């Protein structure tokens, strides 16, 4: 309730309903409440000044010119949650600790290949994209942090209480740290989205990027800079934690995506590839951005797991 004061009634109702079915004596329940409140207060105290509640930008003036992010259609909204780039991560202090190199130059071979791939398979109509590729793009279209946080809770649901609490705490920290790392890089480089770049392809100084003023993506572009892809950064961060926890990168994983659809995977590499493809096929990202995001998230997730996944004393 400290974080969501307007939801006090809803939270209180859910809390009371939860406490009512706890199979323990009144004394044990009371002791548990004391411990839980102490833990919550310690976390709140530790996170004072972590920038998580900083306001969004007010009176934002977009940049301009080739390669620079500007608000995208259809809403042309100001950049989303820019404060995330400053939030203190879990387990280290500097949000920029894992910042990747800059995106490729507009006249580079990498950018040219990415431009023409996204222009073709990411467009809303008249595309070579298959029906299955479209379905994959839609499956992965919701918020990355929401999808992966839900998956962490789902995996934890089969564990005993102590193990589940530990798994969720470190897993959500990996997701959060990966999101912060993505936002740090996004707002450091402010790279343009395909919908902007392709419509203005005649301004980038690259003779191999033909413009299409009518080009639109399959999926509406999120209102924040392109590089790196947050989906692959967050997904790789969560999967690096899974790999450390299960001590293997091959395991069965059921994953719930858009509209409750469920897909099943057997390896980390399989998920990396599909999540990256989805962002290109959806027309929101360049291929290089998804690959850099995967590498970034893997580094963040490994670091988070190594520094937070400590043995529990007997």
Nearest to 223, CA basis, from 57, 104, 87, 65: 57
**What pLDDT shows up at residue 263?**
98
**What pLDDT shows up at residue 123?**
98
Q: What is the pLDDT of residues 160-177, one digit of tens each?
A: 999 999 999 999 999 999
Length of the chain: 314
CA distance 36 to 33: 5
**What pLDDT shows up at residue 78?**
86
In the predicted model, residues of the chain with pLDDT beneath 70 are 56-61, 313-314
Q: What is the model's pTM? A: 0.94
Q: H-helix or E-strand containing 284? A: none
Which contacts (CB < 8 Å, 24+ apart) does range 171-174 have? Answer: 171/238, 171/241, 171/242, 171/245, 173/90, 173/91, 173/304, 173/308, 174/237, 174/238, 174/240, 174/241, 174/300, 174/301, 174/304, 174/305
Q: What is the pLDDT of residues 57-81, one digit of tens each?
A: 655 667 889 999 999 999 999 888 8
**What pLDDT shows up at residue 57?**
60
**What pLDDT shows up at residue 314?**
46
> Whose structure tokens read 């073709």?
120
**What pLDDT shows up at residue 260?**
98
Is the Cβ–Cβ distance between 133 and 292 less than 8 Å? no
Nearest to 195, CA basis, from 219, 171, 159: 219
Q: DSSP letter for 287, please.
A: H
CA distance 55 to 66: 29
């Amino acid at each position: 309730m400290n974080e969501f004061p307007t939801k006090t009634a809803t939270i209180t109702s859910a809390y009371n309903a939860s406490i009512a079915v706890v199979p323990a004596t009144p004394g044990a329940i009371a002791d548990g409440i004391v411990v839980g409140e102490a833990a919550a207060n310690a976390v709140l105290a530790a996170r004072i000044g972590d920038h998580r509640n900083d306001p969004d930008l007010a009176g934002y003036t977009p940049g301009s010119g080739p390669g620079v992010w500007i608000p995208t259609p259809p809403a042309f909204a100001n950049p989303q949650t820019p404060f995330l780039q400053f939030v203190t991560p879990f387990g280290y202090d500097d949000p920029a600790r894992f910042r990747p190199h800059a995106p490729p130059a507009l006249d580079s071979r990498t950018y040219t290949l990415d431009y023409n791939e996204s222009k073709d398979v990411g467009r809303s109509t008249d595309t070579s994209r298959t029906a299955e590729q479209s379905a994959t793009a839609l499956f992965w279209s919701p918020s990355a942090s929401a999808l992966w946080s839900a998956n962490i809770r789902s995996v934890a649901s089969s564990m005993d209480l102590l193990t589940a609490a530990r798994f969720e705490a470190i897993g959500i920290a990996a997701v959060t740290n990966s999101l912060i790392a993505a936002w740090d890089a996004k707002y450091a480089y402010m790279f343009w989205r395909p919908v902007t770049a392709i419509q203005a392809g005649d301004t980038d100084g690259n003779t191999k990027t033909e413009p299409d003023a009518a080009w639109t993506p399959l999926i509406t572009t999120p209102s924040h800079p392109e590089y790196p892809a947050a989906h692959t950064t967050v997904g790789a961060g969560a999967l690096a934690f899974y790999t450390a926890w299960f001590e293997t990168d091959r395991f069965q994983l059921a994953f719930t995506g858009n509209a409750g659809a469920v897909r099943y995977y057997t390896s980390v590499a399989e998920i990396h590839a599909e999540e990256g493809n989805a962002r290109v096929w959806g027309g929101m990202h360049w291929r290089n951005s998804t690959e850099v995001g995967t590498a970034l998230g893997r580094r963040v997730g490994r670091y988070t797991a190594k520094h937070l996944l400590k043995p529990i004393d007997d």
